[in-house]
Chain A
Amino acid sequence: MSSETLAAPDAHAEGQQHPIRLYLIVWFWLFVLSACSYAVDLLQFQGYVRWGLILMLMLGKAGLIIAVFMHMAWERLALSYAILVPPVLVLIFVILMAFEADYTFFTRLEFFGASPTVPAPVVH
């Protein structure tokens, strides 16, 4: 028995085999979603439509990368939850800081009297 045949079962156990086609499809969709994100800026969507589209496209791309490229879809839940749940809890931090920022903004307006204006035009 050569070392080659001995190593084979171990080799099979450690790796993940998926068809190249799957990666190409995901790659294609990442390109499409990125093009859509860029289009959101080009077409000058504003307000809630803009935020909604940006966040949806962002989460779509992130999901594809994590699930397929990083193989999270094929990991056991014990690992997926250990890695994916903590970042979700960061959202609480986001909410806390949003309150804090609102308060700072309020005090700045109240005590310094500055008010938001239109951004200065960009001249290169």
Chain B
Amino acid sequence: MSDPALTHTDPQPGLTGFVSDWSSDKTAFKTASWGKAMIWIFLLSDTFIFSCFLIAYMTVRMSTSEPWPNPSEVFALEIGGVHMPLILIAIMTFVLISSSGTMAMAVNFGYRRDRVKTTALMLLTAALGATFVGMQAFEWTKLISEGVRPWENPWGAPQFGSVFFMITGFHGTHVTIGVIFLLLMARKVWRGDFDTGKKGFFTSRKGRWEIVEITGLYWHFVDLVWVFIFALFYLW
């Protein structure tokens, strides 16, 4: 490290680092691998998609002259004779947050090369995700049987149905894809693909342990989107 040119190109901290990284005419993301940079950029594009949905929801809700159905009552359940507003959505929220917690632990154990714990935690995450999708299917079934359609519902503004099915449907699809992805990666971890350098059937390239974190980033993003849907659609 006696060469001054080398120390000059060492990553700088803070704002200076931000400017020099972006103006370095080569790798802008010094510490993130291509896989991590790409999943982040994908998540950014997905953020725009969900932003469009939520903004569309805001627009139709603000512009309708008919009353908006009260979500607190629409999503209420009778459990053991007790009327509980929004209870199903609350449980779904806790299930998804728990799955995010188990996923964070899986990533942590992944970097410690602990195959058994990583696999177990990824499978647990997938199970919680599948539970979430199951509860969503129950919710859809209940609303459809009560007469909610994308073009009408018994309680007020017809836009309610279209917004509900579009936003929760798109989110549920993301969760489903996440569950499938988790199961595939858990199998690879369990088999020890990342230790033996076994080539993937799809990419024909050696996988790396980092894929656990990349799967995790996608999963946390799905949880993140739910935070916004829960606040803006169900609570508002």
Contact across chains for B63 and A81 when beta carbons are under 8 A apart? no
Residue of chain A at shortest CB distance from B111: A15
Q: Which residues of chain B are within 8 angstroms of A40 by Cβ–Cβ distance? A: 235
Q: Which residues of chain B are within 8 angstroms of A109 by Cβ–Cβ distance? A: 65
Distance of A22 from chain B, by nearest CB (Å): 9
Contact across chains for A117 and B67 when beta carbons are under 8 A apart? yes
Q: Determine whether A114 belongs to the interface, using a CB cutoff of 8 Å to chain B.
A: yes
Residue of chain B at shortest CB distance from A119: B67
B residues 199-236 in Cβ contact with A at 8 Å: 208-210, 213, 216-217, 220-221, 223-224, 227-228, 230-232, 235-236
Q: Which residues of chain A are within 8 angstroms of B66 by Cβ–Cβ distance? A: 114, 116-117
Could you mark each residue 27-65 of chain A with 1 if its beta carbon is under 8 Å from any beta carbon of chain B, else 0?
100110010011011100000001100110110011001
Distance of A71 Cα from B210 Cα, bound (Å): 13
| Count of A interface residues, CB-CB < 8 Å | 67
Binds A, one of B32-40, B128-136, B164-172, B174-182: B32-40
Contact across chains for A124 and B228 when beta carbons are under 8 A apart? no
Q: Which residues of chain B are within 8 angstroms of A114 by Cβ–Cβ distance? A: 65-66
Could you mark each residue 2-46 of chain A with 1 if its beta carbon is under 8 Å from any beta carbon of chain B, else 0?
000000000100111110100110110011001001101110000
Residue of chain A at shortest CB distance from B156: A119
| Count of B interface residues, CB-CB < 8 Å | 78
Q: Determine whether B144 belongs to the interface, using a CB cutoff of 8 Å to chain A.
A: no
Contact across chains for B227 and A58 when beta carbons are under 8 A apart? yes
Q: Determine whether B138 belongs to the interface, using a CB cutoff of 8 Å to chain A.
A: no
Contact across chains for B231 and A119 when beta carbons are under 8 A apart? no
Q: Which residues of chain A are within 8 angstroms of B65 by Cβ–Cβ distance? A: 105, 108-109, 112, 114-116
B residues 57-93 in Cβ contact with A at 8 Å: 58-70, 72-74, 76, 78, 85-86, 90, 93
Q: Determine whether B151 belongs to the interface, using a CB cutoff of 8 Å to chain A.
A: no
Q: Which residues of chain B are within 8 angstroms of A104 by Cβ–Cβ distance? A: 59, 63
Contact across chains for A55 and B85 when beta carbons are under 8 A apart? no
Q: Determine whether B43 belongs to the interface, using a CB cutoff of 8 Å to chain A.
A: yes
Q: Which residues of chain B are within 8 angstroms of A70 by Cβ–Cβ distance? A: 216-217, 220-221
Distance of A87 Cα from B216 Cα, bound (Å): 21
Distance of A112 from chain B, by nearest CB (Å): 7
Q: Determine whether B97 belongs to the interface, using a CB cutoff of 8 Å to chain A.
A: yes
Distance of A70 from chain B, by nearest CB (Å): 5
Distance of A56 Cα from B15 Cα, bound (Å): 28
Q: Determine whether A118 belongs to the interface, using a CB cutoff of 8 Å to chain B.
A: yes
Task: Please judge, given known A-B contacts A27-B104, A34-B93, whether A124 and B70 are in contact too, CB under 8 Å.
Answer: no
* A to B CB contacts below 8 Å, 30 in the list: A11-B209, A15-B111, A18-B108, A20-B108, A24-B101, A30-B101, A37-B230, A62-B228, A65-B224, A66-B224, A69-B216, A76-B30, A76-B31, A77-B14, A77-B21, A78-B30, A79-B29, A87-B44, A87-B51, A90-B51, A93-B51, A104-B63, A105-B64, A109-B65, A117-B66, A119-B69, A121-B73, A122-B73, A122-B76, A123-B154
- Enumerate the 7 nearest inter-chain pairs by beta-carbon distance, A residue then B residue, closest first: A15-B111, A101-B62, A78-B21, A58-B231, A104-B63, A27-B101, A119-B67
